[in-house]
Amino acid sequence: MAIARIVASVIGGCPFCIDMNAATWQRAGLSSIELERLLALDWPSSLSPRERAAAAYSRALSQTPVVVDPALLHSLQGAFTDREIVVLAFTIAQVNFWTRFNQGVGIPAAGFFEESVCALPTIPPHTHHRAK
């Protein structure tokens, strides 16, 4: 689920969400190189088929319009149970909610992530602001 949360955060462009979800990289078993590639939306070849499917699903559900390719659905069904797909979709949708909410009220990054690991994606200045 951590990979899906990281990808949804990057696609949504929310500084707080990227900061918070990228901070879970070690707990998720990712190397710093894998994290850096995920933050660039470039799936590392070292990801398992299950992890790659979760990342691709997160990308599909986080873009507008939402388009889930039948081949992606097939790979999800081969890697996850129906229940796991529901939980994955819910998790991605929840991150998408938070990315929009946080940006809408101007929530900045909170410093969860140690940037000495790798650089977080740069968010254009017009997409984050402080609520007054």
- The 10s digit of each residue's pLDDT in 6-64 is 999 999 999 999 999 999 888 888 988 999 999 898 988 999 999 999 999 999 999 99
What CATH number labels 2-121? 1.20.1290.10
Q: What is the pTM of this model?
A: 0.86
For 83, other C-beta atoms within 10 Å of its C-beta total 8
Residue 94: half-sphere exposure toward Cβ, Cα within 13 Å: 12
19, 22, 61, 118 from 37: Cα distances, Å: 15, 12, 19, 10
Tell the residue number behind the tokens 């000495």, with chain if given: 116
Ranges of each domain in the chain:
2-121
